[in-house]
Every structure is written in structure tokens, then in C-alpha cells.
Amino acid sequence: MMKFKFMYLIGLAVAAMPLLQSCSSDDDPLQNSYTAVVTVVPMSDNGFELNLTNTEKLIPSNLKTSPFKNKEVRALVNFRYDDETEKSTSRNVTINWIDSIRTKIPVVSAGENNDEKFGNDPIEIVKDWVTIAEDGYLTLRIRTKWGTPSAKHEVNLVSNVNPENPYEFELRHNANGDTYGELGDALIAFNLNGLPKPEESPIKIKINWTSFSGSKSTEFDLTLRGDKSDANYTGINYSNRVQ
């Protein structure tokens, strides 16, 4: 059976990324390296920082400008600390590799026209360490069927689905007719920092979606940053078949 590039990439990256890697050679750049999901935040001086958690930042020492220019995006990064003994919430790191995750903002519900506008094809949210809510972002490892290599799958997080709860969403998938083939995974992230920021934190985000076995829902605890950065980034995608 055909195995497409995006399946190979996510299999290679996710299956082979322990949080701490060890190698025998002192010259190996991956020795004592870590792989994490981060937010790439551009700075006014053309530099950038990486938000590792809600409170921890990474400062790249070997890259002066962001590979994603002035766009704030979620990304997978492999790095090593320049000083393993340092204890700080802002630490210098050397980046071994970095790859962006398709990053979007929620779309507004079209009501009864949601199926027509955003699709309702089955999709799964995979319970995995890369499925995480932090730094005002919801990052998801998703799974669905992929057939035609040229087909684009549209994945959206639909807001305003519950007038009594602004933190409830629907994850919508439009396969554009590409509903047969092998199961494969991809990553996608949504910037939720534009949501109302309550006095108490974190907030509880509820996600509803149509899976291959019927309707499902889950909840995430999320701390918002409160800013409204433009997160519609379509440059280097972790899976070039997710829109």
C-alpha cells in the first residue's frame, strides 16, 4: 500500500521523539536533547522566543531570526540547554531542528449550515503528549483516513456553538471527498488567546467532534495569555495536507 510523506513524517517524529534522548558520541548534536511542542513568538528586534509552557521560555542562541518570520505559530522543536545546571524560567538553548504545526484561529459557527460550510467527516483526537492545551493554544494530534495524495483536508475549530458557554467548540473535518484509504495522523493547533479571559484561570475548554464510532467530547484545562495574535499560518506545515 502507498504510504504518503505526511504519514512517514508523523510516524518518524512522534514515535522517535523521547523527551530525553541519549547518544554515545559527545559530538552528537542530539545528545541530551529534548523534543517539545512550543509557541514561536516573534520579537520586535526580529528575534524570537519559544514559549515552552505557560511560564517557561527558551531563548535560541544559534538562531537570530525566526524561520517563520513575523508569524506566531506552534511548532515541534528539538533542542538542548546551553547550561543544563541553570535554574530559570528563561533559558538559552541550541536548536537542533524545528518544524511548524499548522496553526489557525477558530471560525464562527454557521448554525444549521455548519455541515455544508465546515464538513462533518469523521476524525479522531489522539491521546498523546503532543495533544495539549497550554499558552492559550490547543494543539491536537488528529487521525483520519487519507487516500488521494493531492486531496486537502480542512480541519476547523468552530466557536459559538453553545450560547451559554463561549468555551465550547466543535472540531470539524471536511475531507473534500477523500474518505477512503489508510488511517494516518497529523498535527494542528488553534490559537484561543482571543477568548474572553476570566479572573480565574485556567478555563475549561470543551471540544465536540464526530469520530468513526459516533459523537465524542472531551475537555481541556487551558490558561490564556490574553493577547490576540494572528495565528493563521500557512507556511511550513507539519502535514502539508491539512488546511
User: What span, in angstroms and rounded, lies between the C-alpha atoms of 92 and 88?
Assistant: 10
Considering the domain architecture, whether residues 111 and 78 belong to the same structural domain is answered as no
Give the mean pLDDT of 89-108: 96
CB atoms within 10 A of CB 87: 6
Residue 231 lies in a domain: no
CATH, residue 130: 2.60.40.2370
Residue 4 has pLDDT above 50, yes or no: no
Which residues are paired to 51 by β-bridges?
39, 57
**Same domain? 126 vs 109:** yes
In this structure, are residues 212 and 175 in contact, taking their beta carbons and an 8 Å threshold?
no
Apex 123 CA angle, 136 and 111, nearest 5: 70
Q: Which domain holds residue 45?
A: 5-18+29-100
Examine residue 48 and state whether it is found in any structural domain, yes or no.
Answer: yes
The Cα-based distances of 205 to 106, 133, 166, 217 in angstroms read: 13, 9, 9, 10
**pLDDT tens digits, 192-227:** 999 998 888 899 999 999 999 999 999 999 999 866
Place of cell 504510504: 3
In this predicted model, what pLDDT tens digit does every residue of 56-84 receive, in sequence order? Answer: 999 999 999 999 999 999 999 999 999 98
8 A C-beta contact, residue 185 and residue 145: no
Residue 171 and residue 128 share a domain? yes
- As for how many domains the chain has, the answer is 2
Radius of gyration over alpha carbons of the chain, in Å? 18
We report the CATH number of the domain holding residue 82 as 2.40.50.500
